[in-house]
Structure 1
C-alpha cells in the first residue's frame, strides 16, 4: 500500500509536536529549578550574611549562666527560653531605652504597640498562677511588651521586656537584619509596675518554630554547649 504524502506530513507534525512538548517540559523543569533557587537566595538575603546577629550592637553573650537559655526559673518550675541581656553582663552596659535591632531579616508577626502594664493585683495573681508551670498565654504576659519576627526557614525571634517599639513597626512589617525595632525596658516586671526604670533588660529568644510550642535555641544543653553553639550561630569571635 503506497504511503500517501499526507501521512508523511501528519507524521512529521506529530514528531515536531512531541519534540516541542519534550522541550517545553524540560524548560518547565528548568524554570521550576530556577524559581526554587531564587526563593532560596531570597531567604538567605533576608537572613543576612553570617546567620543571625545579637540584638544589641556590640554585645557579647551573657557571662552569667542564669542569663542563658536553659537556666532554671524556679518561680514557675521551668527554664529560661532565651538570652537575658542586663546590667554589665554582656560586654556593653544594658540601659533603659537603648536600641534593639532585628537579629535577621523577616516579617513581624507580633508588635505590641498598644501594650499596657497589668495591675499589681494582676501581677501577683499571675505569679501565684505559674507556681507549678506557665502556659503559653502566661509566658506571654511575663515577657511584657514584645516584638516577634518570623524568619526564613521557620525560625522565630522574640524580643521582650521592651519599653518602646519603633514607630511604624506593626504586624506584617518586613524588616532587615540590624534594623532598629525597639528599645530596652523592663515591661512585665515588678519595677515596671512601680513606674521605675531599674532592672532594664532584654530577653531575646530564638525558636525553631513557634514560641512556647516548639524548640528554643539551647534547649537541653549545658551552659558551655550553649555558648559554643551560639558562637557558631551568631558568628561571634
Structure 2
C-alpha cells in the first residue's frame, strides 16, 4: 500500500520551512534558500536523492459471468467425424459416478456405441470456432504410483477433487468459444502441432488423436480404454449439470443440430 502523504502545510505556521525541507531531504548538506514569502530560490543539492519507483503488480481480470443460454446452443460439430451420441446414458453428462461420489461431466465416445470407428489416433476435431485455451503438448503419462495415490486420496475424501479429475482427463485441449462457452477434448493420444494456446481454430479443424491418456487402464491394461471424453462447459459448470437423462440427451441432440453458430 502506498504510504500516506504528510500534510506539511499545516506545519508552516510553527516550523521554519527551510528546516522542514532540510529534514525531508535527509540532512543539512543541501543548500536550500527560502524567501520570507515561502517561495524557494535556486538551490544546488550536493547529494543525490533516492526516488522510489512503484512496481506494477500483475493483474488478471476476472472474466464476467457467462450470459450464455444453454437451451440456445446449436450448430456444434461432432468432435469425431461420423459419430453420434452414445445410446448408453452412463456415457452421457450427469451420469452418477458412485465410486467417487460425483457425476460424469462429458460425453464418452467409445467404439461400438458412437456410430464411428474409435481407435488409437482416430482424428478429433474442433466442435466450433474459437481460441485454444489449453494444449498439453508436454503431457507426462500417468504412472501406477499416481493411480494408487489418487485412488487413496479419493477413498479418504469420499470424492474426487478437481485436481484428481484433471489428472484423470489426461492429455487435453480446451477451446474457448466466447461468453463462457468452452469445449474440452480429453484422453488424447496426441495433439496436432498446429494447436497451441492463443491460436484461432475453425469448426472441424484437427485437434489431435483419440487415446486413453489419464485413465488408470492406460497403465494397468493398455489399449482397453480408448475413447474420447468430450465436455461442453458453460461458466463454472458443464452442459447438463443437475438434469435428468432425457433432458440431458435432448440438450446435446439440439447442440449438435444444424445452426448458424454456437450462439455464444
**Unaligned segments of structure 1, at least 5 residues:** 1-48
Secondary structure of the structure 1 residue equivalent to 2:198: coil
1:59 to 69, 78, 83: 83
The question of whether the paired residues in 1 share the 8 Å contact of 2:142 and 2:213 is answered with: no
Are positions 1:104 and 2:128 aligned together?
yes
1:155 is displaced (CA, Å) by 0.3
> Cα–Cα, structure 1 residues 50 and 79, in superposed 2: closer, same or farther, change >3 Å?
closer
Aligned partner (choices 163, 170, 173) of residue 147 of structure 1: 173
User: Greater share of helix residues, 1 or 2?
Assistant: 1
Output one character per residue of 1:26-56: Cα deviation in whole Å (capped at 9) or x when no partner.
xxxxxxxxxxxxxxxxxxxxxxx95212201
Deviations 1:55-111 (A, max 9, x none): 011111111110000011122110000001112111113111100000101111110
Unpaired runs of at least 5, structure 2: 1-72, 259-264
1:124 deviation in Å? 1.2
Cα distance in 2 for residues equivalent to 1:194 and 1:129: 19
Answering whether residue 239 of structure 2 is matched by residue 217 of structure 1, we say: yes
Q: Which runs of 4 or more aligned residues in structure 1 lie more than 3 Å from their structure 2 counterparts after TM superposition?
A: none
Distance in 1 (alpha carbons) for counterparts of 2:244 and 2:221 = 36
Aligned with 1:80 (options 88, 101, 104):
104
Whole-Å separation in 2 of the counterparts to 1:168 and 1:130: 36
Within 5 A, what are the aligned runs for 1:1-237? Answer: 51-131=75-155, 132-194=158-220, 196-209=222-235, 214-235=236-257
What SS does structure 2 have at the residue aligned with 1:93? coil
Provide the C-alpha distance between the structure 2 equivalents of 1:190 and 1:153, rounded to a whole number of angstroms.
34
Across the two proteins, how many residue pairs are aligned to each other? Answer: 184
Find the aligned partners of 1:74 and 1:93 in 2 and give their Cα distance. 29
How far apart, in 1, do the equivalents of 2:196 and 2:154 lie? 30
Contact 2:124 2:210 survives alignment (8 Å): yes
| CA–CA distance in structure 1, aligned partners of residues 92 and 100 of structure 2 | 17
Q: Deviations over 1:204-227 (max 9, x none)?
A: 000112xxxx12111111211111
| 2-structure distance, mates of 1:146, 1:127 | 21
State TM-score, norm by structure 1.
Answer: 0.74
Say what the alpha-carbon RMSD is for the aligned residues: 1.7
